[in-house]
């Protein structure tokens, strides 16, 4: 643990149960689908713990991926498919055209699931604010938009570092490491032509 954090009375918190996450939801657990034999790398799915409407809500989110309850990634997302779309992108990370990060996260999840570990995803819906946007004809129209997740994601990642003395394993950008250093980019098919 970080010596300053220890002096300030902070306790190490690197497991999901150690956090006070009252408004967070569990998206579900990632598992290997035994019935999917044609393309074994595609066989990972999520056993969802929330409704389709909830998980496809496009508002901004902060998410945490855990492996056997240990926090391995803190991220942020705002996609049309909601948190389900974000996680499904990772589960399809082996495909050509995906970024090295997406492939490496898929590779990590795939390895851990194959090893019998429990991978779960938790998330928090960010608040939405009402704004008035002037239209081209001069009239104003009200919209609800999500708060940008980047600042909030950084706050969570920085707090994790303060409490634990390191970053979550898969937060390589913040920790100034490379996917190659973790052995997770091996086999990456590249971005395509």
For residue 97, the domain's CATH number is: 3.40.1440.50
**Token pair listed for 113:** 């699931």
- For 33-47, b where at least 16 C-beta lie within 10 A, e where not — what string? eeeeeeeeeebbebe
Residue 47 domain-assigned? yes
Residue 69 domain-assigned? yes
* Nearest alpha carbon to residue 170 among 97, 125, 181, 159: 181
Residue 152 domain-assigned? no
Residue 53 domain-assigned? yes
Residue 58 domain-assigned? yes
The structure's pTM equals 0.86
How many domains, in total, are found in the chain? 1
Residue 100 domain-assigned? yes
Residue 3 domain-assigned? no
Could you list the residue range(s) of the whole structural domain that residue 57 is in? Answer: 14-126+167-175
**pLDDT digit of tens for each residue in the chain (193 aa)?**
455 555 555 667 778 878 888 889 999 999 987 766 555 555 788 999 999 999 999 899 999 999 999 999 999 998 888 999 999 888 887 777 788 999 999 999 999 998 999 999 999 999 888 999 999 999 999 988 888 899 999 999 999 999 999 999 999 999 999 999 999 988 887 755 4
Computed from CA positions of residues 134, 140, 141, 146, in that sequence, does the dihedral angle turn out positive or negative? positive
């Amino acid at each position: 643990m970080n010596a300053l954090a220890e002096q300030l009375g902070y306790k190490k918190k690197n497991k999901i149960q150690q956090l006070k996450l009252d408004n967070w939801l569990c998206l579900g657990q990632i598992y290997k689908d035994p019935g999917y034999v044609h393309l074994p790398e595609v066989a990972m799915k999520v056993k969802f713990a929330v409704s389709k409407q909830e998980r496809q809500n496009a508002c901004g989110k902060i998410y945490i991926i855990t492996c056997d309850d240990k926090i391995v990634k803190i991220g942020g997302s705002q996609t049309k498919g909601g948190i389900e779309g974000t996680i499904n992108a990772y589960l399809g990370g082996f495909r050509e055209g995906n970024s090295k990060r997406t492939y490496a996260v898929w590779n990590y999840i795939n390895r851990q699931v194959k090893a019998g570990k429990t991978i779960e995803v938790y998330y928090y819906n960010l608040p939405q604010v009402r704004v008035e946007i002037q239209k081209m004809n001069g009239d104003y129209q009200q919209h609800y938009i999500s708060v940008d997740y980047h600042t909030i994601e950084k706050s969570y990642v920085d707090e994790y570092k303060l409490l634990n003395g390191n970053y979550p394993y898969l937060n390589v950008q913040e920790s100034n490491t490379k996917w190659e250093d973790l052995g997770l980019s091996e086999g990456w098919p590249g971005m395509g032509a």
